[in-house]
Amino acid sequence: MKIFSTFFSLSMFSLVYSNKHLLHKSNDVANRCITFSVSAGTGCAWMCNYCANVLGTNNYYFTDSVCTYQEGIGCVGSPLAGKSYTCCSA
């Protein structure tokens, strides 16, 4: 278990700090939500991928509907740089 915990911690560190799009992050484990803001030029495709990876599920939603899934297109929307966004597992 300790090995998994260490690996998970290192993986999350790499995911969060190796990506230039992420500006801020906080986790609300009790409610299975994460809040983050992004830099200019970051689109919903990156945001949806980030939420899926951190929450560990493809069944999630953005509390303000900034990004939504459209059949045949994927994750779409218009996020603003510096604004905080929250996604939660459903």
Q: What's the whole-model pTM score? A: 0.71
Which pLDDT score is estimated for 55?
92
CA end-to-end distance (rounded Å), the chain? 27
Strand partners, 44: none
Report which of residues 57 and 16 the model is more confident about.
57
Cα 74 → chain centroid? 15
CA dist 66 and 44 (Å) reads: 8
Amino acid at 64: D
Name the residue type at position 27: N
- Span 44-83, pLDDT tens digits: 999 999 999 999 999 999 999 999 999 999 999 999 999 9
Q: What percent of the chain has pLDDT over 90?
A: 63
User: Which has more pLDDT, 77 or 28?
Assistant: 77
Delimit the domains of the chain by residue range: 20-89
